[in-house]
Structures are given as structure tokens and as C-alpha cells.
Amino acid sequence: MTTSLLVLEPVGGIAGDMFMAAAIDLGVDRGALVAALETLKLPGWRLEVRAKTEHGIRGTHVDVVVEGEQPHERGLAEILALVDASGLAPRARAAARAIFERIGRAEAKVHGIPVERVHFHEVGAIDSIVDVCGAAVVLDLLGWPRVVSTPPELGRGMVRTAHGVMPVPPPAVLELLAGLPIRPGGPQGEAVTPTGAALLAELAQLGPLPSFVPGRIGYGVGTAAWPDRPNVLRMTSGELYESGRTSRAQGSGEDEAVAGASPGAAEGGDGERLWVLEANLDDCPGQLVARAIEAALEAGALDAWAAPVTMKKGRPGILLGALCDEGRRAAVTAALFAETTTLGVRRHAVERDVLARRLAEVATPYGAVRVKIASRDGHELGAHPEYDDCLARARERGVAVREVMDAALAAYRARRTG
């Protein structure tokens, strides 16, 4: 089995706009990215994308151009409400929420106030909201690969913020990266923004890079110019290298219509090692069980569920479960404890085989819809339209979701046979 990787190297630093720029340079469909972000219903912004060369490296630069008068600041609850009301895919929506909540906790700790009273200045601006949600959409378009990153250098000197002049790294940046590996030094200035730090902390595993087979490579060019290094974020899609395995052939032409091509989640084989977390509940209201499932997914669980069980003394109860990898096990466990009445969460290791997946966008009479294609050993086994896309198109056109799904499948099959 192969494991899809997204490798980040913050050569000059990392910010939200650099993450989106690197993804577009990598090959993520700009139109699909913008279409998802427009469901946030934020007024007065546009994504400006252009080529930019930095120290001889040609990459992509992204500006979130904001037009018109905007609120000076936004509270955490207001930002989360925007995300919840959006049309982002569920896992992207959960990731965006988790990033903003992480920033909120860091800001609350730095300023010594309850998280409910946190008001964002820079992070609450439209460009930062677009940056955070854009990063979540990028991973959704790429099929949620495993994200790894080299430890960043945070920069040196002083920086002016809405709270005044602060040392680099600013306190919130350092708080966001607490417990994670970083490197001292860096350019004279702020190399890692609060948004960039939150993306690394929530989405990536920081440390030495594993051996991997690189595929496509993208460079996101930042705004600042560093004299001693290119201000770029390098993003590489690839596959985890396993001794004794031969990498899959590249350049088959299958990616021509892919809206966010993943190098392939798996091709069958030995399986990947995951954890099943479980708790038996006999005194937990159904509303809390539903919230616990949401919280587990927001914490990075690959799946979460609830099933009825009969417990001791014949009591009816609920078996709450979640599936996650090692990197998210602690966070998912914490979510189950926080959101339920359980006093214990048991765990056991499992292995699973998964099919390789990629997303292709097709045109239907109702609008663009992404189709998820599953394959094994290079042979396509099935295709299924993305439900959230079909639901959005159905609501826009006032038709049944089933009609949009049928049209998407017909469009995909016509393209395959044509």
C-alpha cells in the first residue's frame, strides 16, 4: 500500500496566503478553490494570483484583495458561525473550525482572557479567514493526504501588530507551536505568521521528513523579501517510500481533469495501522453523542460512529467509536472525554486496506460537480459524486439531489467512454 504525502518546507517561512499559493502552483484547481471559498458569503474580496520569481525560483504569489469597508475585528463565535454556515465540505469545515479554535485558545492564553472574549484583529480580517478556509479546502481537493513539515525558523527582531510592537516570534505564534519542534533564527522579520503557525500545528506533523517519492512540486512566494534566502514555501506531493516497493509510474495522463489530484490513497497491500477508540455510554444524552461525533471528526478522526448496545443489568446504551491515526489519537481521545460523560476511552490497533482515490470535476447541466474515483492496482473500481457538491447544485437549481448525482455520473461515464 502507498501513503499519500504532502510535504511542506517553509524555506522562507509560512503564511496562509503562501499555503494557497504553493497549492495552486502545485496544480490544485484555482476555480474549484475559489468556488468553495465563495460559499463563505464574505463580501468584497477576490483572489489575485500571479507568477513571481524569488531568488531565481519561479513560483506563485496570491493576494486576497479586499475591497470596501470591513469590520475592524471579529469575535471567535462570529468567525465560527461564518464557517458553519458555509458550503465547505464537512471535513474542510471541521478543519477550519479547529484552526480558528486553536488560534482562539492561544490568543486567550497570551492575553489572559476567556476564549469567549477573544476578538481577532489581523486574524479576523477577511484575508485571514480566506487563508484559513483556503488551506482546509486545499487539503479537501487533494484528498486529505498526510501532511508533514520540516520544523520552521520563526524569524528575528520586532514586528508591529494591532496590540503594539512585539518580539519575533510574537507570543501567539510561539504559543501555537508550543510542544512542537522549531528551529532558532531565520530572517530579520516575521517568517511565520499566526495563521501559518496554526496551519502547521493543526494540519501537519513537524519533524524530520520521512523518505518519500516526490511527485508534483509547488512554490508559494510570500510578500516580504529576505536578502539571505528566498521567501518561499515549498510544497511537494508524493508517496511515502517503503523499502522493497517500486513507486507507481507517473505521467499516465489521468490527472488532466482532476480538480485536486491526490497521488493515490492506496493501491492495496499490507494495510495501514490505525487506532479504534471506543466508549460505552449509558447516561449520555443523544445531543451530546451527536456533538461528540462532530468533535471527534474535528479533532482529525477518519471516521466516527454511534451504535446501540445492551450493557450490564440489561441497560440500553450507546457504543461511541472513532477511527484515527497515531498522530491524532490524543486529540480525538481528548474530544471524546470533553464532550461525553464517559470515564474511560479504550483503544486497540487495527489495520485496514483502502482503495486509491482521486477527485475529478465534471460539468453537468446544474454546474460543476466533483466525482471521487476509486481504484486498485491501477484498475478503476467505481466512481461516486461528492454529495456536498450535488446538494449545493440542487439547492441552487431547485431540483432533487438525486437528479444532480445522476447527471454527474452520466457526465463522468461519457467522458470515460468518449
Q: How confident is the model over 281-308, as pLDDT tens digits? A: 998 998 999 999 999 988 888 999 999 9
Residue 251 is assigned to a structural domain of this protein = no
Q: Which of 111-115, 338-342, 410-414 has the lowest mean pLDDT?
A: 111-115
Residue from 184, 207, 204, 185 nearest 196 by CA = 204
Q: Which of 8-12, 165-169, 407-411 has the lowest mean pLDDT?
A: 165-169
CA distances from 34 to 24, 89, 137, 250 (A): 11, 13, 9, 28
Q: Average pLDDT, stretch 214-241?
A: 93
Q: How confident is the model at residue 271 (pLDDT cuts 50, 70, 90)?
A: low
Backbone angles phi, psi at 257, to 5 degrees: -110, 20
360 shares a domain with 344: no
Contact 60, 216 (CB under 8 A): no
Q: How confident is the model at residue 173 (pLDDT cuts 50, 70, 90)?
A: very high
366 shares a domain with 312: no
The C-alpha atoms of residue 39 and residue 35 are separated, in whole angstroms, by 7
The CA angle 177-99-47, to the nearest 5 degrees, is 110
124 shares a domain with 225: yes
221 shares a domain with 131: yes
Among 221, 240, 259, the domain-final residue is 240
292 shares a domain with 192: no
Q: Which of 27-31, 130-134, 239-243 has the lowest mean pLDDT?
A: 239-243
- pLDDT value of position 337: 92
- Structural domain span for residue 94: 4-240
166 shares a domain with 85: yes
- pLDDT value of position 1: 43
Q: Global pTM?
A: 0.62
Instruction: Output the domain CATH number for residue 404.
Output: 3.10.20.300
Q: How confident is the model at residue 2 (pLDDT cuts 50, 70, 90)?
A: low
Q: Average pLDDT, stretch 340-349?
A: 92
Residue 32 is assigned to a structural domain of this protein = yes
322 shares a domain with 366: no
* Mean of per-residue pLDDT scores for the chain: 86
Considering only residues 163 and 129, tell me which one the structure prediction assigns the higher pLDDT: 129
How many domains does the structure of the chain reveal? 3
Residue 314 is assigned to a structural domain of this protein = yes
328 shares a domain with 210: no
